[in-house]
Structure 1
Amino acid sequence: MRVLLFSKYSRRGASSRLRSLQYLPLLRGYGIDVEVHPLFSDEYLDAIFHGNGRSAMANAWRRGVHRFKELLRSGEHDVAWIEGELFPYLPSMVESLLARSVKPYVVDYDDALFHRYDLSSNRLIRGLLGRKIDRVMRDAACVVAGNSYLAERAARAGAPRIEVIPTVVDERRYRPVDHQEDRRPVIGWIGSPLTENYLLDQRDVLEKVCVEHDARLLLVGAKASVVDRFHGFDPEVLPWTEESEADAIARMDIGIMPLRDGPWERGKCGYKLIQYMACGLPVVASRVGANIDIVRHGESGFLATDRASWESSLVQLIEDRAMRLRMGQAGRVAVEETYCLHTQAPRLAEVLHSVGQNRCAA
């Protein structure tokens, strides 16, 4: 079976790496060969991270032309697999034409992409594109959603088939670590410069807890300058790389995921929580969206709703090593049972096979 994957990024982009590209070796074992065509290049990501909007826009236009050419030869494949949409900020006409040309497509969502349009501050975008993603969902042979919030939107859009497949880790890359009892506990966060504002929302709590309870703070993927935003102690900042992220998380004792409670945040899939849990860490997370499904409050970690609950949760874990170990073990079990590559790969393979077979039957 041949599948043409229209991903958003190469492996450098987290959404593409985690939602599709990490599955490709396992899918080959199910007889599925996937040809990958990312929309945005690594140069585009470099331009975005360094604030070079003009360079990013020029690169996006070039890649858009290339994607259109690839669409013209999509008939050589059995199924198209789309990450979110084919062309950002353009109407859903291309996806509709793809569906009507007897080329079934599977579309995958790991965030609330539809809010880019229906909640845009630009009235023209809301008017022209506010229902774009609903039409893409409706025309798909199957919508794969990373959490229940995204699945509910697909259901309201009239998607004919919806499968919830969480964003998962390759559990073989993450090993639980039992740290020395007499070392200073390390509170850890992993993310990117684009998400560090969520971390800074809890800056006052983190400062207080680290200073008063002699804990350390390790930040992976934040800008180096974020250190200047903290007072009374110096967090350690490590650059993110795909090769080093598991080792960096293994240096932590507690993993955190602060979020705001808004429409965009409810669409997030809680991946960093799953990374922490895969390393046997207890977690503290905002009680928002997929976090509520991933964290078993009081068993694998704590769900916090305000500054007081953030502080009390962190203090409990800092002071009680046995609790950290117990919750970390529970989190690792949850990863092995639900949130790992080898558990979800058969489900994804079944989706692609069934869509391809239905096309042949038609």
Structure 2
Amino acid sequence: MLTAQPSAAAAPANLPKPIKEAQATHPLYNESIIRPASMMLQPRILFVAEVSLAQCAKYRVWQKVEYFRKMGVDCTVLEWWRRDEIRNALQTHSLAIFYRTPGYPESLKLIAEARRLNVPTIWEVDDLIFDEQTYRANGNIDLLEPSLRDSVLAGVPLFRAALQACDYAIASTETLATEMVRAGAKEAFVIENALDTQTLIAAQVARSNRQVREEYSGVRIVYGSGSKAHDADFQTAAKALAKLMTVNQDVELHIIGDLTLPGAFDVFANRVVRRPFVDYETYLLQLAEADISLAPLEPTIFNDAKSNIKYLEAAVLGLPSVCSPRAAFRAEIEHGVNGFLAESEADWLSALTQLVVDKNLRAQVGSEALQ
């Protein structure tokens, strides 16, 4: 616990409004800070996070907790709405990372309290959810139910406020970091999504199961939809995929998660396999049952800010991928060597056809991706 002493001086007039409001409600917040927590405490990191999105929390919160603990750094994870617990935890931590925390007034007060305690604050996100113009340019938004769309857009100014209130920012991609600074972040750093111990172990099991599975003559193409907001993205590959399935009667489409298929796929009903959201280990097992992975994304700034995690998850299984050439995918994929990049309908049809008709090519590209 930090030791405080009474302050004889009047409160500075230029204090942030949340601090002034806190000082007006409790005398504790009028006490001065003797020295920053970072000078008195062993490094200890507080994660104030939105953890209901399991995959996002895995890559942006729990991975960091694993890495920091391996280095001997203690970590605490609290959901962003547990405000009293967060306020108490700020007293004993030397750094606070706010992941996907919306800037409601009470949350901004907590960020201000961290500043009063001289605890550095970082706001982190893995999607461009803090700029309304960019968000609206994402075609998936228009396909959401009106109430859900309104709810999503209502969060934009809240996330932006939290971003601007913190000392620093962390992004999952270079494009996202650039947009964070443009939106008012003082400085933004990039920590890319990575493959943690859980993923590597689960992938090894999935690869083993894949090697001993029952042989079948068809080709399975898999698409994993992490949320209900990917219909427009899938449509970038849909026409080519429908043409492919028309010509190649042995191709199956496996969908994991929510996706509204275009009407053109109705004729393939007996070759479309749907699976619900599952835990991560099961997801990798299902992914490994396929022969080709898809990662289509619309050509927007919003999608250029996304990570290439779909490619990484397929790659760790030795699965060849066809991906849209968004920034993070371009940085990782050498076209035709460790994956394929496809923008136009012709690109998608060409890449998918090559992989469908050539089993050896699938194995070669998948092996290169795994390396």
TM bin, normalised by shorter chain, reads 0.7 to 0.9
Check whether the contact 2:47–2:97 (CA below 8 A) recurs between aligned residues: yes
- Within the candidate set 46, 55, 72, 1:4 is matched to 46
* 2:209 is equivalent to residue 172 of structure 1: no
- For 1:86 and 1:283, how far apart are their aligned partners in 2? 34
* 2:250 is equivalent to residue 218 of structure 1: no
* 2:218 is equivalent to residue 184 of structure 1: yes
- Following superposition, the deviation at residue 286 of structure 1 comes to 0.9
Give 1:209's aligned residue. 244
* 2:255 is equivalent to residue 239 of structure 1: no
Give per-residue Cα distances to partners, 1:59-116, cap 9 Å, x unaligned. Answer: xxxxx3x335523541211211211435369895653553353011233221112224
* 2:362 is equivalent to residue 324 of structure 1: yes
- For 1:111 and 1:128, how far apart are their aligned partners in 2? 14
Higher RCO (CA-CA < 8 Å; seq separation 6+): 1
Closer, same or farther in 2 for the Cα pair 1:220/1:227, shift >3 Å?
farther
Check whether the contact 1:115–1:264 (CA below 8 A) recurs between aligned residues: no
**1:1-362 aligned within 5 A:** 1-10=43-52, 12-39=53-80, 64=81, 66-67=82-83, 70-87=86-103, 94-116=110-132, 132=161, 135-136=164-165, 139-140=167-168, 143-156=169-182, 162-169=188-195, 170-175=199-204, 176=207, 177-178=210-211, 183-197=217-231, 198-213=233-248, 214-222=250-258, 226=261, 230-234=265-269, 235-242=272-279, 243-333=281-371
- For 1:73 and 1:132, how far apart are their aligned partners in 2? 22
Closer, same or farther in 2 for the Cα pair 1:116/1:156, shift >3 Å?
closer
SS across alignment from 2:290: coil
- For 1:202 and 1:89, how far apart are their aligned partners in 2? 42
- Following superposition, the deviation at residue 279 of structure 1 comes to 0.7
Give per-residue Cα distances to partners, 1:228-278, cap 9 Å, x unaligned. Answer: 772221210111212311100101111101111112212111211111111
Closer, same or farther in 2 for the Cα pair 1:73/1:27, shift >3 Å?
closer
Bigger Rg, which one: 2
Check whether the contact 2:292–2:320 (CA below 8 A) recurs between aligned residues: yes
Closer, same or farther in 2 for the Cα pair 1:68/1:151, shift >3 Å?
same
SS across alignment from 1:194: coil
Q: Which stretch of structure 1 is more off in the superposition, 175-184 or 269-278? A: 175-184
Check whether the contact 1:5–1:35 (CA below 8 A) recurs between aligned residues: yes
Give per-residue Cα distances to partners, 1:25-51, cap 9 Å, x unaligned. Answer: 443221122111123xxxxxxxxxxxx
| Amino acid in the other structure paired with 1:164 | V
Closer, same or farther in 2 for the Cα pair 1:117/1:90, shift >3 Å?
farther
Q: Which stretch of structure 1 is more off in the superposition, 208-217 or 168-177? A: 168-177
| Amino acid in the other structure paired with 2:202 | R
Give per-residue Cα distances to partners, 1:294-332, cap 9 Å, x unaligned. Answer: 322221111111111111110011111121111111111
Closer, same or farther in 2 for the Cα pair 1:200/1:155, shift >3 Å?
closer
- Following superposition, the deviation at residue 201 of structure 1 comes to 3.9
Q: Which stretch of structure 1 is more off in the superposition, 255-264 or 192-201? A: 192-201
- Report the number of matched residues: 302
| Amino acid in the other structure paired with 1:291 | F
SS across alignment from 1:107: strand
Unaligned runs of 5+ in 1: 40-63, 334-362
| Amino acid in the other structure paired with 1:187 | I
- For 2:155 and 2:215, how far apart are their aligned partners in 1? 55
| Amino acid in the other structure paired with 1:76 | T
Check whether the contact 2:103–2:160 (CA below 8 A) recurs between aligned residues: no
- For 1:135 and 1:206, how far apart are their aligned partners in 2? 42
Check whether the contact 2:47–2:75 (CA below 8 A) recurs between aligned residues: yes
- For 1:116 and 1:94, how far apart are their aligned partners in 2? 25
Give 2:17's aligned residue. none
Check whether the contact 1:110–1:167 (CA below 8 A) recurs between aligned residues: no
Check whether the contact 2:164–2:186 (CA below 8 A) recurs between aligned residues: no
Closer, same or farther in 2 for the Cα pair 1:151/1:99, shift >3 Å?
same
Unaligned runs of 5+ in 2: 1-42, 138-149
Give 1:336's aligned residue. none
- Following superposition, the deviation at residue 221 of structure 1 comes to 1.1
TM-score by length of 2: 0.71
Closer, same or farther in 2 for the Cα pair 1:91/1:117, shift >3 Å?
farther
Closer, same or farther in 2 for the Cα pair 1:70/1:196, shift >3 Å?
same
Closer, same or farther in 2 for the Cα pair 1:238/1:118, shift >3 Å?
closer
